Amino acid sequence: MYRKRLASVTVSTELFQTEPLQDYIVALALHSGVPGEKSIQLKVLIEEVFSHIVGKCFPGRSDGQICVSADVTSASFILTFAYRGLPFAYDLQTADNETDEISLSLIRNISSTYRLKEDGKRGQSIEISITINPVAPSEENSAHYSPAPDEKLELRQIRADEMEKLVQCLYKVFGYTYSAEAVYHPDLLREQLAGGLYRGFVAVNCRGDIVAHTSMQKSSADAAICECGQAFVSPEYEHRGLFMKLKSMLMEEAANLGLKGVYSSAVTGHPYTQEANLKLGCIETGLELSYIPSNLKSIIKREGENQRQAVMSFFKPTGAQSSMDVYVPEHHRGMIEDTYKHLGLQRNLLTTPSSTLADESSELEEIAKTEWNQMYINIINAGYDLRERIRRTIRRALANGIAVIYVPIDLTARSAPATVEALEAEGFLYSGIMPCECQGRDTLRLQYIADTELNPDYIIAAGEWGTQIKNYVMKELQRVE
């Protein structure tokens, strides 16, 4: 993805540096498209973060250094503070006092995402991403249009010069409430298209307007699988089967590209999206509870609209498959084996004895999705202190209002069963299997649910196998309760 470094300045930990640093960064932010009304918040945020790093990570010292970098993408202004101070002294989740709470509230309110990383001898870094102004819809194309019932539509891949029309279609369906920020930014979509990270499949009417869309998204240009997402249909073109037609095109293209499969997810408040996936040959692989916030509404009425929504995960193998050795926790062996049988994937299920993890400290990457109150933890290295690190992360996350935490575990690692055991001891539970998710390697997803008062009646599984997965996950939820 396009990312341009605007500036990088290393300053000492003497607090007189703060004011000129504020003015410089705010000027860069406004030039990059950060809304003007956020400038005062940003200025205070810089002061708070800088002073907290100095006070907590360099106590009593003035010889420390902080490297402050500003980057811009087509969607975000990214501010990074990198330093080598006292480890674990300052985090973005826990407020020890009222002053801390001011700093944390500012970060939560102004940022779209934030990351805190403890990187061993390389020190620590705080990365704060702030959304820049999206494209506005044109008034001309926002006018109501009533298509003829027999109007012929062109189904094809999107062109680079049509991204603005895509944003206008999105606006007609969701306004500015859609969760995927990138779809509001034509330049970012063009960059992702050129970089092989995105392919859009669209329906185009006789006026040249885009009236339906779904996309193939890849985490990297050489990823083994893709995600089918960002699916929406303009209201006047509903009930024409466009979602199934476009997703069918996407899966055919995934096979042509040699990808190993297509991943997608479907809300469980109604069965319709799940039924479409099943008709296309997609297989349920897991259930992610509390995934969607209750304030994100759907144009389709769904059960349990006033609580967080679960999603059913699906996978469709599309390309040549090969056998793989995976290390699975013995107590989940039956469910994992059945999942692979339904997928038709050849896996050698191995088990290592529960034992201590590596004799070195753990390395974690925490990614908070603030709009959805979600956190993702990537376990870069699982060491002897994993439970302590996870316990501390949970505590910080809950204090910050995080509702759900997801962790993918690489099943080709011999330490996978011990890693699962450590996380489940801290309250995590089974979510599902994702083939080839981690650079072509399978992962087991675990989830931590802050609010376990979930009504299973609002979780609708459209298929028989999906129902078995739901029952398994709900039993797991009862275990941790």
Residue with tokens 């200025």: 43
Which band of pLDDT confidence, cut at 50, 70 and 90, is reported for residue 210?
very high
- What is the per-residue pLDDT across 138-178, written as a single tens digit (0 to 9) for each? 444 445 567 777 789 999 999 999 999 999 898 888 777 67
Q: From the CB of residue 112, how many other CB atoms can be counted at a distance below 10 Å?
A: 18
Cβ contacts of residue 296 below 8 Å, gap of 6+?
A: 177, 179, 372
pLDDT band (50, 70, 90) for residue 300? very low
| In contact, 198 and 242? CB cutoff 8 Å | no
Top-ranked range on mean pLDDT: pick from 187-191, 330-334, 370-374: 330-334
Q: Which residues of 65-91 are buried (b: 16+ CB within 10 A; e: fewer)?
A: ebebbbbbbbbbbbbbbbbbbeeeebb
Handedness of CA 300, 241, 265, 108 (dihedral sign): negative
Burial class (CB within 10 angstroms; exposed 0-12, middle 13-18, buried 19+) of 239? exposed
Task: Give the SS3 label for residue 96.
Answer: coil
Adjacent-strand bridge partners of 289: none
Q: Quick one: pLDDT at residue 93?
A: 65
**For residue 315, what are the CA distances in angstroms to 251, 262, 277, 285, 288?**
11, 6, 9, 7, 14
DSSP reduced 3-state for 160? helix
Mean per-residue pLDDT of the chain: 86
pLDDT tens track for 422-472: 999 999 999 999 999 888 899 999 999 987 667 888 899 999 999 999 999
Give the C-alpha separation, 277 to 243, whole Å.
10
Q: Which two tokens stand for residue 441?
A: 């390697």
The answer to whether 166 touches 210, Cβ cutoff 8 Å, is: yes
Q: Which phi and psi angles does 355 have, rounded to 5°?
A: -155, 175
The average pLDDT across 413-424 equals 93
